[in-house]
Structure 1
């Protein structure tokens, strides 16, 4: 069993450097369940210490699992509660794809040259969801051709 745990351990973790206290944090390395506690502590301290926007540069980050994304969302929410805004900058393409696939680009603000080069607006936070005609009711309605029985409301 110990052999299996040793194989599952990641080769290195994330490094967090607060370059401008409370304003600019740089994260590099592997962001996963093993490194999240340290990253969370550093991000929360940066949110609590400063004012105005908090820029989190994630160039060189490898988001290895859902907890890596979760720590970013948690820091974003903490910043909102503190009346601040968290901005992700220098997002590597694999991490940017993961943010878009999970639709977190609707929650997190991503301000990046790579995003602008791809044709997306510089701020993709809270992008409006494209709803079909009729609003959410039409979106949530089952197709009449469904073989599943309709539930009584």
Structure 2
């Protein structure tokens, strides 16, 4: 369900912090919430340029479809000449990224960097997606 402000409401919520550039995702990403969240994030990606920053401090991943949203958004961003940047991921989410090797694929900001103001790096190229992660 989408409100008039363009925010999806349900077990997971997407708050647009800066149209086309930055959003906060709160709640549980899983098989029941993924379609609406994926659509909202894809619209956000299509509406801007440069880095797309996602704040995930209050986000839980309940199953592989939740991770699939992030990987899919990362791939779409790369195809459109953009970069997905994960900001403020929880410790649990960071452990999940390490366990699934996504820490090698997704660009992340630590909490201190995210809170002190994000400055877009100009020389950093995101690493390629390892074939083992794509399976």
- TM-score between the two structures when normalised by the length of structure 1: 0.66
Q: Which residue of 1 aligns with 2:127?
A: 126
Q: Which residue of 2 aligns with 1:84?
A: 82
**How much has 1:113 moved relative to structure 2?**
2.7
Q: Which residue of 2 aligns with 1:31?
A: 29
Deviations 1:96-145 (A, max 9, x none): 10011000111111111379xxxxxxx8x539x9xxxxxxxxxxxxxxxx
Q: Which runs of 4+ in 1 moved over 6 A?
A: none
Q: Which residue of 2 aligns with 1:102?
A: 100
- Greater gyration radius: 1
Deviations 1:4-27 (A, max 9, x none): xxxxxxxx6110011100000100
CA separation in 1, counterparts of 2:92 and 2:112? Answer: 12
CA separation in 1, counterparts of 2:34 and 2:105? Answer: 20
Provide the secondary structure at the position in 2 that maps to 1:83. Answer: coil
Whether 1:19 and 2:13 are equivalent positions in the alignment is: no
> What number of residue pairs does the alignment pair up?
109
- For the 8 Å contact 1:23–1:52, the answer to whether it is kept is yes
Task: Provide structure 1 residue ranges, at least 5 long, that are not aligned to the other structure.
Answer: 1-11, 116-122, 130-153
Q: Work out which of the residue numbers 21, 25, 45 in structure 2 matches 1:47.
A: 45
CA separation in 1, counterparts of 2:74 and 2:23? Answer: 13
Task: Provide structure 2 residue ranges, at least 5 long, that are not aligned to the other structure.
Answer: 1-9, 114-123, 131-135
Q: Which residue of 1 aligns with 2:111?
A: 113
- TM-score between the two structures when normalised by the length of structure 2: 0.75
CA separation in 2, counterparts of 1:76 and 1:43? Answer: 11
- For the 8 Å contact 1:105–1:126, the answer to whether it is kept is no
Root mean square deviation, CA, Å: 2.1
